[in-house]
Structure 1
Amino acid sequence: MTILVTGGAGFIGSNFVLDWLRGSDEPVVNLDALTYAGNPENLASLQGDPRHIFVQGDICDRLLVAQLINQHKPRAIVHFAAESHVDRSIHGPGTFIKTNIDGTFTLLEAARAYWTELQGEAKAAFRFHHVSTDEVYGSLKADDPPFSETNPYEPNSPYSASKAASDHLVRAWHHTYGLPVVTTNCSNNYGPYHFPEKLIPLMIVNALAGKPLPVYGDGQQIRDWLYVTDHCSGIRAVLAGGRLGETYNIGGWNEKANIDIVKTVCALLDEMRPDPAGKYERLITYVKDRPGHDRRYAIDARKIERELGWRPAETFDTGIRKTVRWYLDNPDWVARVQSGAYREWLDKQYAK
């Protein structure tokens, strides 16, 4: 019994691998291309652990994917691998098309070829779990109800459009070929090992360095925040008991405006690591809004609760405190992840 995880050195993927192996002896084959956001240091605690088989490679590599599946014969594929940063998709959409669409197609075809040859219980038990995002649903108005699984797709960025396309492929492979798939669409994740280009880790590392805290537009964009280990438990629940061909939204029931997130991080840093120069909020800097910036996301997670009994264990208050504490306790990880290429990206993205 083995599972294949794609993108297992990234933020959510590495948290999932660590979480999985904390609670199970079932081995994980971890396929990751180790692009800028894939960091094998996230998995340092698994060094020498025979349950973790790491393979550096691209999900678009048809021969490699087929070889891994045929060699390890996984009972499930959990597909995290994706380009996921909206700003990067605006500057370079081609990579998102390749990884998120072509890569998902390659995995689906390899999984279909493998599953078709399975027999009996092994065939009945196999699952392809596709991990997606709430951004495929577009943007909500202030008084709109949260996204449910029946919301129409209205992606507004190259990133969300590429993820929407991958969701459609997964659905089609189930309805056309019978491939046993489940899909989860999650809200904004946060927690340990988050690459510091995303809002929360960027605010933490910039504040500690005394750098400006860039906030897009008026900072009133609203997101639903999900602590990453809660996301992992939701994925486990769907993988174990989700109905084939179904989509499950996984959310944290924590709608927050971006500016409120930034101020919360500042307040926690004032408490945990006071700056002699003054309150961290002094560093907040409003910058030009990005093109096509969705105003509000919110997830209705009642389906997964009703069918599978899942609810998040963390409130935003408990999760954000754990997150800030982790970054304060792991300065070496932060220092090593901040490569020259990373600093150049920030300079390009947030230049006046």
Structure 2
Amino acid sequence: MFSKYFTSARLRADLRAAGRAWLAHLHQEKKYSIHTCRAYGRDVTALLCAMAEIRGEPVGLQDIALLDISEWRAAFAHHARRGLAARSQARMLASLRAFLRFLERERGIENAALCLLRTPPVERPVPRALHESEIRRLFGEEALSRPADWIALRDRALFLLLYGCGLRISEALAITKAGWGTGEVLRVTGKGGRERIVPVLPVVREAVAHYLAALPMEPAPEEPIFRSRRNRPLSARSVQARMMALRRRLGLPETLTPHALRHSFATHLLQEGADLRSIQELLGHASLSTTQIYTRVDERLLAQTYAAAHPRAGRMQPAGKKRRNRTGRRNPPAAGDSSGGRRR
């Protein structure tokens, strides 16, 4: 499964074997997705190959323990000069730290110098949610082809599922016929093997039912319900291509991607008053801090929430305004009070 990683001749045989064992550990024991494991493998391989290029000789396990802070910095600078963004460097450092934790636990190899490396400062991008008018156009009648064949019904059902349930594209494409069942609720397995229960809106349920009724093939109970023309499981790349063609035909922004529908799901729930904890459960986030990024989409929502929830928000007066008595008139200054009625 991971035979394509840690294969460079710049890495000694013991390091190549340890790297593949680490990836297998992440996938089989820690239940990381195959895509996450591959990304980790690419990051660590690229960094260690840069280290070997700088040293002028292959790198092995024993070399890892002896590397100092200047060599680690040189390896990262090597990628920075080639245009590697700060976000990618931060991910590469996180991957390297995970690999060294594995080596310390399984092989007894430590490198204290790595602790001195600081993660590059990275600003998390604000999720790009669609406006409600754009959502209406996406799912309007004009979005369907004429005649509406099963491919168009499939796309509509899939996009509604992404927006109506807040699923990741991989989660939606993994839904089997047995897993769909009656379509009342979905049991979704997300990142890290975490399961969650997601309710299905009637409009989503109806769209999927129309698609399944028009589907010319009959998937087995254990097969994914979203099929290609050749009766193969639909790929994420195909979905992205279909979305690109649809948004261009409808004149929708380039930011409209399958994952943007998940962002829109969370943003619109938040704008309608849903609490962050519930949105976290629906999205399958392990940490609430991941969900809190959606509060940056519309900062006015925070002010409205504060004004509605704080017990004294309605009683606070803007600066510069004088207090009024219960009759609505300004309080007259007391005798001998030159402060104009203000308390000192």
Task: Flag the structure with larger Rg.
Answer: 2
| Pairwise same-fold verdict (TM > 0.5) | no
Please identify which structure carries the higher helix content. 2
TM, length-normalised to structure 1: 0.23
Higher relative contact order (CA 8 A, sep 6+): 1
Please identify which structure carries the higher strand content. 1
